[in-house]
Structure 1
Amino acid sequence: MKSYFIGGLVGYLVLWLFSVIGLIRLYISKKRLYPYSKLQIHFHILLFCFLIVRIVWICFEGSSDITALLILNRYACTGFFTTFTYIIFFWAEIYHFLSHLSYRIGLDKLKIPFIIVNVCLYIATTVYSIIFIDDEVTHRKRGNSDPIYNSSVLLIAAISFVASLGFLVYGFLLLRQIKKAISVVSSKKKSLVRMGIFTVIFSLCFLCRFIILLYRPITNKFLAEGLYFSLSYYIPEMVPSLIQLSVMFPSFPKSFIQPIQEKETIFQNQDDESLQPYFLQTN
C-alpha cells in the first residue's frame, strides 16, 4: 500500500475512533447534555457509518477489484454528503427559528427537499453500482474514458457544489440572525467569528472537491495520484469531520444558549414541545 493511502487510512481511523468515543459519551451522559443532543447522536451515527465505508474503500485500494472500489467510493461520497447536509438542515432549523418564520411550516418545507435529494442520491448510487457490476468488462476496457464512470464523477462533483453553497448561504444567514437575536459582547464576538471561520472552511472543503473532480473531465489531464486523493477525499472529508467532532457545535457554544433562549417566548403558547428546536427542548 502506498504511503498516501496509509496516511489516509490512519487519518480516517483516528476520526472513526473519535466518533466511537463521541457516541459512547453521548449514550452515557445523554440526560446531562444540551437538548440538541439528538442531533449530535444522529451526526455521530451518520459519520460512523460513512467512515466505516471509507476505511474499507482504502483497504481495497491497490487490489484488482475495480468494481468494488468504485461502488465503495460512490457510497462513501454519498454518505458524507448526507452527514453534512444534516448539519446544514440543523443550521436552517435555527435560522428559521431566529428569523420569526413559522417554525412548523419552515421545517416541513426544509425536510421535504432534504429527504428527496438524499433518497434520489442513494437510488442513483445504487443504479451506478448495478451498472458497474453488470458492465465490468466494458468499464475495464474503457477505463477513465467510460461515459458512465464520468457521469458518476460529475454527480459527486455536483452534490459537493450543492453542499458548499448550502453551508455558505445558511452560514451567512445564521450569522446575521444571531447578531440580531443577541447582545454581542466581546466573548460572543469571538464565537461569532469562530462560526464564520468554520462556515468558510466547510464551504471551501466541498468546493475543493468540486473543482478537483471536474479537473480531469474538463482538461482530460491527470493530477499526481497523491495530490488527487488528498484534495478530492482526504482534506474535504477529514477537515470538516474533525472540526464538527471537536466543537459540536461551534456556532452554539454554552455562552449562546441562555441569550437565545430569550426567544423561547415565541413558543410559550405551544404545548407541543416537538415543534421547538433541539437546543430548546427539555427531554
Structure 2
Amino acid sequence: MEHQAMDSTPKHTILCVDDEKHILSSLKRLLRKENFDLLTATNGVDGLKIMASRDIHLVISDHRMPDMSGISFLAKVRETYPDTIRILLTGYTEIDSIKASINEGHVYKFLLKPWNDDDLKQEIRKALERYDLIQSNQSLHLMVAAKNKELEQINKDLESIIKQRTRELELQNQALELTRVIFRGLPMAAMGVSYDRTIILINRQAEKLKINDRMVIVGNYLADYFSKDVMKKFLPVFESQISQVKFDLSMDNQVYILTLSALTGRFFGKGFILCLRKRAD
C-alpha cells in the first residue's frame, strides 16, 4: 500500500486498485494536486484489507487482475461497504460484461482505458459529489426518522396528558355540580361574594330573602343591602386580617346570625361566603 500525503486535511479518501504499478503511478501523478487522500493496492485482497482499516469514499479498480477480477472485487466492496462509490477501469473489448455488472449494481460507472485525464478527474469529482449527496440524504433521513419518533412520543405523552386532564376536568365538574347542589340546598341563606364585594352567587333561601325591603339579586354589591356599620364589621375579613367574622343583625323584625368567611386554599383571596341564619327564639 502507498499513501500520498496532502498539505491540507482532505475531505475524501480514494482507493485505486490495479496490478500494474505504472498505472497506479500514472493515477498518483494525475491526482496529486487534488484535495483527497489517495491509497493504492496491487490486488483485490490487499484492497479489501485497506477497506477494512480505512474509511474509503471511492474505489477505482482495474477490471483484469489475477486471482480476483475487478468486478469480483467491487462486488465484495459493495457487499461490505455499500456506501462506497465504485468505478471500474476497463478496455473496449470488455464493455458488454461490464454493462451487466452495472445493471447488477456492482459498479457505479466504468471508464475506458486509456482514459482522458480531464474526463477522469471530472468523473472522480462527480462520484465524490454523489457520495456526499447520498450521505447528506441518509443523515437527513435519520434526522427526520428521529424527529418523527420524538414527535410520536410527544403525541403519546400529549394524549396521556389530555386524557388525564379530561378526567380531572370531569371530576372537577362533578365536584362543582355537587357543590352547587349542596349550596343551593343549604337550609340558610347563602351568597357568594367576589373580591370586589359583588354578589355573584345565591342559593334558594337567599332568593327568598329581603334585606331592607330589597330582593337579593346577583350582580349587586353588598353595600346595596347593608349599612356602613355592617360593612365596617365585614372589613377585617375583606382586608384578610381575619378569616371569619360573625355577629347578629336585626332585619324585618327577625334576628339573623351573619357569618362572613374568606375562601381558603387555592381560592384564597378570590372571594367570600356570606351566610344568614335566623336566630332561634
Q: TM-score, normalised by structure 1?
A: 0.26
Greater percentage in strand: 2
Higher helix share: 1
Higher RCO by CA contacts (8 Å cutoff, separation 6 or greater): 1
TM-score by length of 2: 0.26
